Amino acid sequence: MSDALLATAFALGAAVSLATSWLLVSRLERVGARLGLTEGLLGMVAALAADAPELTAAVTALAGHHARIGAGVVIGSNVFNLAALLGLGAVVAGQIALHRRVVVLEGVVAVAVAAACVLVVAGTISAPAGLIAVIAVLTPYVALLAMRRDRLARLGIPRTWRRWLAQAIHEEELELEVAIHPRPALLRDEVVAAVAVAVVVGASIVMEQAASKLGARHGVPQIVIGGLVLAAITSLPNAVAAVYLAARGRGAAALSTAMNSNALNVAAGLLLPASFVGLGATSASATFVALYYLGLTALVLASAYLRSGLNRLQGVLIVCAYAAFVSALLAIT
């Protein structure tokens, strides 16, 4: 297949995948509303649906033994998410106001998942061990999101902790209730969601395969194809949604979108498939991307906590940090 045909296949695959993912998000939110999910769980469903392009691209790459492309898509998408969802969001909105409890709640999970990702990519622990660690972190977090406030009293933890958790979940749901408020699904919504899943998966596979072949043909390192090209393109739905939320003053919703998306990327897009097919030999470039993801996550969360949000200057610095990441990755490959 010629370069022109591969480029066309890549462009069409990306366009169809991204356009259909918007439809998938809206329909899955309605299905979640029909099931009576809490606002927090609806946010997780929305993040998972919006992650469909990068998840499919990453799994396809790993299954095809393009480990660096697969790892690059996931981890590069997470770095891009921090810059586009929160950094650019703060620049556009001028200020993203955040509740400190929400920052801590989201931050503990985000940093733990990023640390597990680094350990696996660096070869310190195996992918199955990393997956178990991430599941151990995500399970109680998702359970909290699914729990109604009146049921927190049943948890066998100190009263002070229960009050803190109840307030943090309440503050996050106040943001999500406005940002994510779908009507309950009808049968046609469920059918559309099923078709949208098939379309997104198929289009994302075409996109990844075309990018892999073009990169191999022209000597472009796999980590660049995955960590920069595919990562940025597949993350666009989340980026647009988060900038929109930030501009409307829904800061906690933007933070939740970024952190939940990143956690799901690592768990479902990297550690789960790598537990079956492996990640291959460790590489300095992949380890660098993973360490940058962890470092930028910690920096963004610390900045958000200290100022109860992110202002325009902090947003500019986060975007500049992503530009430095791109330059450094190109320099070491």
Closest CA to 210 of 26, 47, 23, 60: 60
Sorted by where each starts, the structural domains of the chain and their CATH numbers stand as 3-332 (1.20.1420.30)
pLDDT per residue of the chain (333 residues) written in tens, 0 to 9:
788 888 888 888 888 887 787 677 677 667 766 776 665 666 677 777 777 788 888 888 888 888 888 888 999 999 999 998 899 888 988 888 888 888 999 999 999 999 999 999 999 999 999 999 999 999 988 888 777 665 666 666 777 877 877 787 777 666 555 555 556 767 787 788 788 888 888 888 888 888 888 888 888 888 899 888 888 888 877 776 666 666 666 666 778 888 988 999 999 999 999 999 888 888 899 999 999 999 999 999 999 999 888 999 999 999 999 999 999 999 987
CB 179, CB 245: distance < 8 Å: yes
Burial classification of residue 329, based on how many CB atoms lie within 10 Å of its CB (0-12 exposed, 13-18 middle, 19 or more buried): buried
- Res 95: pLDDT: 85
- Res 218: pLDDT: 86
Using DSSP's 3-state secondary structure scheme, residue 97 falls into strand
CA separation for the pair 78, 72 (Å, rounded)? 10
State how far the alpha carbon of 185 is from the alpha carbons of 27, 106, 181, 192, 193, in Å.
7, 28, 12, 10, 10
The DSSP string of 172-189 is: HHHHHHHH--PPPPPHHH
CA separation for the pair 207, 214 (Å, rounded)? 11
39-50 and 127-146 helices, crossing angle to 10°: 140
Helix, strand, coil percentages (3-state) for the chain, rounded to 5, are 85, 0, 15
Distance in angstroms between the alpha carbons of the first and the last residue of the chain? 27
Tell me how long the chain is: 333
Q: Which helix (H) or strand (E) holds 136?
A: helix 127-146
Q: What letter would DSSP give residue 151? A: G
Say which amino acid occupies 169: I
pTM score over 0.75: yes
- Res 19: pLDDT: 77
Token pair listed for 287: 């380890």
